């Protein structure tokens, strides 16, 4: 038996165990997680004093243990459990795995396989969508999917069975047969239905009823200026995904909690773009990753947060928590919604480390494999709306942080340089901050530091 087991004595001489383990009995395997205490009592009729555990209607023999007391009454308490997978002979049940500590259920988004398909052990067969991440349901064994016992769109909890898998594939119809069986039978033609003839009914004199009142006058025609809603047959109603509902709730909470104020500045991108153009090939050859603009802004943000530590702080009740570390959150738009992976300890990273971490997190975010731990925390957020063509915006603070930096598209504009009007690649940047904690002076100084570092990256080398 693998796992951590805490053993203590209970009244009457029984054992009380709390365990998180993978349990093996005979040739069958049952994997489970028990979060509460399970009382194990000695079994009867065994010379070796074998202890037994009743679980989900089945009894398993545990390793022999010494009996410490006699005349013990059988008692078992199993109040809260979460099942990983269970199998019985040839059939194996695929169930919803454990999720993060703060997630209790999810929505069965879609099946990745069909009944009759061959699957390997640990191969994903379905996806569970939660309010934070998408979780794969893996096949516990190699075999053929016999049937699905849950439907897409259902709310499922850890331990919910969603599919049955046959390890041998016997008795499972091929996918074509399954599709034919699932297809609804066509209804008989309308002319085959027998309709009773009117002549066969006996004539019955109908009682006289009062004449109905005259219909009301038709409503007046709408004028050309009145708005007209589209007809119902051109509307579509689709439930919000859990991730979208979570994002909406957090953004509204941010708007209701913070005293948000936004300050703006503009940055001349000439030098940073020239730096990337000159060294991109050598940078790629040495570090195996492309040199982008985001790493320059992350380094500039780190420098600004070190000069204005109040922007890296947060309000907690009547206290202010100052952080001596800098975890930069990068907002990433994915097909399923907005996620914010975190670059940990950005103050200790160089340009190459930042670019590698951004690429890794962005790939995980787009393919849905990013974990909650990789999105948790963060002391400051950078949102780059410029990749979508945004010229100017006021970003919303990502709770519980105190500020967010908004980057925008680079546009060539006429600028006055040395008394001459010349075209320069310019970017508007915006800082939205919690005015309860951060004054305008600190916010403007921070944004000014971003501008100085991006326009002259040599300041990072000289620490000026």
DSSP per-residue string spanning 322-375: PPSS--EEE-EEETTEEE--EETTGGG--HHHHHHHHHHHHHHHHHT---STTT
For residue 203, pLDDT beyond 70: no
Question: What average pLDDT score do residues 5-22 get?
Answer: 37
Q: What is the pLDDT of residues 262-271, one digit of tens each?
A: 999 999 999 9
pLDDT at 68: 32
For residue 59, pLDDT beyond 50: no
Bridge partners (DSSP) of residue 16 are 8, 39
Per the annotation, the verdict on 367 as an active-site residue is no
pLDDT bracket for residue 190 (50, 70, 90): very low
Q: Please tell me which residue, 24 or 101, carries the higher pLDDT value.
A: 101
pLDDT at 5: 38
CA 361 to chain centre: 14
For residue 55, pLDDT beyond 50: no
Q: Give me the chain's average pLDDT, please.
A: 75
Which residue of the set 122, 281, 367, 439 is catalytic? 439
pLDDT at 457: 92
Query: Rounded to whole angstroms, how far apart are CA atoms 357 and 328?
Result: 11
For residue 36, pLDDT beyond 50: no
Q: What is the pLDDT of residues 303-355, one digit of tens each?
A: 999 999 999 999 999 999 999 999 999 988 877 777 889 999 999 999 999 99
User: Does residue 310 sit in helix, strand or coil?
Assistant: helix
Q: What is the pLDDT of residues 128-176, one digit of tens each?
A: 887 667 778 888 888 888 888 888 888 888 888 888 888 876 656 565 5
Question: Do residues 185 and 109 make contact, with C-beta atoms less than 8 angstroms apart?
Answer: no
For residue 235, pLDDT beyond 90: no
Instruction: Locate 349 and state its tokens.
Output: 């990273």
pTM of the model: 0.59
Question: What average pLDDT score do residues 43-62 get?
Answer: 41
Instruction: Locate 13 and state its tokens.
Output: 């001489």
Q: What is the pLDDT of residues 401-444, one digit of tens each?
A: 999 999 999 999 999 998 999 999 999 999 999 999 999 999 99
pLDDT bracket for residue 199 (50, 70, 90): very low
CATH architecture of the domain with range 244-462: 2-Layer Sandwich (3.30)
Q: Give the domain ranges of the chain.
A: 1-79, 84-171, 244-462
Sign of the four-CA dihedral 155, 158, 164, 166:
positive
pLDDT at 77: 35
Q: Residue by residue, what is the 3-state secondary structure of 132-148?
A: CCEEEEECCCCEEEEEE
pLDDT at 109: 81
Query: Rounded to whole angstroms, how far apart are CA atoms 343 and 294?
Result: 12
Per DSSP bridges, beta strands 81-88 and 91-95 are antiparallel
Least confident of 83-97, 112-126, 176-190, 392-406: 176-190
Q: What is the pLDDT of residues 282-309, one digit of tens each?
A: 999 999 999 999 999 999 999 999 999 9
DSSP element (H, E) containing 109: strand 106-111
Bridge partners (DSSP) of residue 148 are 163
Which residue of the set 105, 136, 353, 435 is catalytic? 435
Residue range 84-171, CATH number: 2.40.50.100
Question: Do residues 169 and 115 make contact, with C-beta atoms less than 8 angstroms apart?
Answer: no
- % of the chain beyond a pLDDT of 90: 36
pLDDT at 376: 85
Per the annotation, the verdict on 439 as an active-site residue is yes
**119 conformational bin, left if phi > 0, alpha if psi -120 to 50, beta if neither:** beta
Question: What average pLDDT score do residues 108-127 get?
Answer: 85
pLDDT at 211: 59
- What DSSP string describes 237-299? --PPPHHHHHHHHHHHHHHHH--EEEEEEEEE-HHHHHHHHHHHHHHHHHHSS---SHHHHHH
């Amino acid at each position: 038996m693998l796992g951590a087991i805490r053993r203590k004595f209970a009244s009457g001489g029984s054992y009380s165990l709390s365990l998180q383990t993978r349990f093996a009995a005979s040739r069958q395997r049952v994997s489970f997680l028990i979060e509460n205490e399970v009382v194990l009592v000695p079994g009867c009729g065994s010379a070796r004093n074998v202890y037994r555990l009743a679980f989900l209607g089945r009894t398993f023999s545990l390793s022999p243990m010494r009996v410490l007391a006699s005349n013990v009454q059988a008692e078992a308490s199993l109040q809260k459990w979460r099942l990983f997978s269970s199998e019985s002979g040839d059939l194996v049940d695929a169930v919803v795995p454990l999720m993060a500590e703060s997630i209790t259920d999810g929505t069965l988004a879609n099946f990745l396989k069909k009944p009759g398909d061959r699957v390997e052990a640990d191969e994903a067969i379905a996806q569970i969508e939660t309010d934070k991440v998408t979780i794969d349901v893996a096949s516990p064994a190699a075999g053929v999917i016999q049937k699905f016992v849950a439907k897409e769109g259902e709310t499922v909890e850890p331990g919910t069975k969603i599919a049955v898998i046959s390890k041998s594939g016997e008795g499972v119809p091929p996918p074509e047969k399954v599709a034919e069986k699932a297809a609804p039978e066509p209804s008989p033609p309308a002319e085959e239905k027998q309709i009773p003839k009117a002549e066969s009914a006996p004539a019955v004199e109908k009682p006289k009823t009062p004449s109905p009142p005259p219909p009301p006058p038709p409503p007046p025609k709408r004028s050309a200026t009145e708005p007209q809603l589209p007809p119902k047959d051109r509307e579509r109603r689709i439930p919000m995904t859990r991730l979208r509902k979570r994002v909406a709730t957090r953004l509204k909470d941010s708007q209701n909690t913070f005293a948000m104020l936004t300050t703006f500045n503009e940055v001349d991108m000439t030098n940073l773009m020239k730096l990337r153009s000159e060294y991109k090939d050598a940078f790629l050859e040495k570090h195996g990753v492309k040199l982008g603009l985001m790493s320059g802004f992350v380094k500039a943000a780190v420098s600004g947060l070190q000069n204005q530590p109040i922007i890296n702080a947060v309000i907690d009740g009547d206290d202010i928590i100052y952080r001596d570390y800098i975890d930069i959150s990068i907002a990433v738009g994915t097909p399923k919604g907005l996620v914010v992976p975190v670059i940990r300890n950005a103050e200790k990273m160089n340009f190459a480390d930042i670019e590698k971490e951004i690429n890794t997190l962005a790939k995980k975010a787009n393919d849905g494999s990013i974990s909650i731990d990789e999105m948790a925390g963060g002391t400051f957020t950078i949102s780059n709306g410029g990749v979508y063509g945004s010229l100017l915006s006021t970003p919303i603070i990502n709770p519980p942080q105190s500020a967010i930096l908004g980057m925008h598209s680079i546009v060539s504009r006429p600028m006055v340089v040395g008394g001459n009007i010349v075209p320069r690649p310019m970017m508007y940047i915006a800082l939205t901050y919690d005015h309860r904690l951060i004054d305008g002076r600190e916010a403007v100084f921070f944004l000014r530091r971003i501008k100085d570092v991006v326009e002259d990256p040599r300041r990072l080398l000289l620490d000026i």
